[in-house]
A and B are shown apart, each in its own frame.
Chain A
């Protein structure tokens, strides 16, 4: 694994943020002047997949949705209906382009120019790999994997995507949000000096549970409740907190060299909550010895917080997804306050920029790499907390602990199964650490 040099990383980031075309070349079947329809397939018909499809269709380019894929027929049909209600002839999905089941993605990818990958994150590496193999442009949701073999798969496919000049945008939408772009550009330009510390947070109230239904196989139950199983979700530190961790990496222009932390199930202890923790606290240490503290929790009734702040040699910065960005000098005077009025919706902006590049036949986006490394930061954080050990970045990348099932079928068994009392085994720091790294 090649080491990350801060300077190189910044160069790459700057090139992308500045909108420099990595390489302009006529793509096969370029969508010149918007005259040709861009055919899009949605893989993963949940709320976010449907939302991402709306964002794509709202981007103003000549797009048609030509295929839908989901493991569940009911998800697919309800998304189809919602899409059709709103977008009418922009949704051109015939019955034989509705693909259901674990292998549905392969066929859906075939018939599209661009794919939206929005299933639970566990499937992302195999879907991304296949989309790259088939030479498609890609929008994929975060996080991009749930375990380290998955990360390596994404990184390998990302290399191939680069060679094939496939645009890949990852749904870490803060990268496309004006307040973050403006503030972080100023930080990288030296407005507050070198960043020496930071704190990033995602403390919220948690998410839904879908009660077990009679007749469901274990595979179906876990798939319906994907948030609570690591092979599907990666735990909430990966699934949600990746947003804030990614900001830390972006601001630092680097990835941590080691991570330590602590976490537990303090609040969400029932069997319906699978195996995941409800709180994590991490220390991300970077090569320059700066430390970012990260905290995420799913607690009800407590003070919530979702934002980021960093301290630097000549000042500090406060950032949040609500559009805030304030830079202060060392004396606490405001030196920049972002005005969010009229800023584009970042969820739409990421699609707008992707489809703009595609329609012009340009190659501009290789987000898979930072998407993978920020996802990896969350995964290492999870492992550090589950095991109670300090995990080094380079060592972690060698991990072969693969948590994905060996077979994908409704009657196949995931690796993690409930005990006799219906509760799932949960990681206890200091015990069974070999299961996690």
Chain B
């Protein structure tokens, strides 16, 4: 944890190690700032309004299966631990039920983004990381995500308005051959973040509310977040290997849908998996000023909302 606490003081990029394993992941420092959120393209992106954001770190890459699987499989975590042990508090974290199907959907695993996890699953993964590292990791808010994606740009994509350049920055419907790719193969944005456009869409913490931005017309929103109270829909950002160019834009919003669990044959349906959303993944955020331990646990420990 020494690298992490050092980074906390200086807001620099850092590498998070997971003690006792060979696993690490890269976090990129994002400075505080004000940006223009939204666009004029679709109704749910209007109006463009100013948003003030506190500093945070965000994952340089989408979370990969390499990082996600030790959380998914406790026995596997054990075999990946250098001393062959898991601390009791880590052991006590609630883990996903084992997916009935192949959740890679044959698209590849090593170095590929983890996917098809529910919003609840994504948050529980963050809890596992917190218990593992002592560092508060969580999902980005929608505003943080868009701010990080734009990296200073007020155009359609982080690199400008020219969709013909997408192939340089993103895996999308036009070049992905219908599957995810290794993270970090394309050009990063100005802040050094890879695959913000495409590869997998990424969970945000926010409830998806189509007219959410209306209240901020002509104002400056400060760290806005639509705290979720219902299971559907939550906001997903960035587009995926399966998305058209228009849906890869920095401002484009996608709402999660019960249909993503249509093929789950069990009732109650799984709290953990979306067998029909192989295009949804996640990216981690860490706020510079973390809340208290109690507040952190309150963030993680919301009971799953029953689904059937």
Contacts and interface: CB of A to CB of B under 8 A. Distances in A.
A215 interface: no
A303 B108 CA distance: 7
A204 B99 contact: yes
Interface in A49-98: 50-54, 82, 86
A316 to B, nearest CB: 16
Interface stretch (B17-25, B67-75, B134-142, B180-188): B67-75
Interface residues of A, number: 29
A297 B106 CA distance: 15
B267 A54 contact: yes
Given A86-B308, A320-B106, A205 B99 contact: yes
A303 to B, nearest CB: 6
B299 interface: no
Given A48-B266, A305-B106, A307-B106, A300 B76 contact: yes
Interface in B53-91: 69, 72-73, 75-76, 79-80
Interface in B257-308: 262-268, 275-276, 278, 308
Interface in A188-220: 203-208
Q: Chain B interface: which size bin?
A: 20 to 34
A436 interface: no
Contacts of A346: 263
A205 B99 CA distance: 7
Interface string A298-334: 0011011111000000000000111000000000000
A292 B72 CA distance: 32
Contacts of A86: 308
A345 interface: yes
A208 B97 contact: yes
A303 B75 CA distance: 16
B197 to A, nearest CB: 23
A307 B75 CA distance: 26
A50 B266 contact: yes
A347 B265 contact: yes
Interface string B160-199: 0000000000000000000000000000000000000000
Contacts of A307: 102, 106
B5 to A, nearest CB: 31
B102 A305 contact: yes
A82 B109 contact: no
Contacts of A304: 102-104, 109
A26 interface: no
A82 B269 CA distance: 11
Given A86-B308, A320-B106, A205 B265 contact: no
B269 to A, nearest CB: 8
Contacts of A425: none
Contacts of A303: 104, 109
B246 to A, nearest CB: 18
B98 A82 contact: no
A347 to B, nearest CB: 5
B266 A205 contact: no
B267 to A, nearest CB: 4
B92 interface: no
A244 B207 CA distance: 38
Contacts of A52: 265
Given A47-B266, A320-B106, A321-B101, A300 B75 contact: yes
Interface of B: 69, 72-73, 75-76, 79-80, 97-106, 109, 262-268, 275-276, 278, 308
Given A204-B99, A304-B109, A320-B106, 12 more contacts: A48-B265, A203-B102, A204-B100, A206-B98, A300-B75, A300-B98, A301-B79, A303-B109, A304-B102, A307-B102, A322-B275, A345-B263
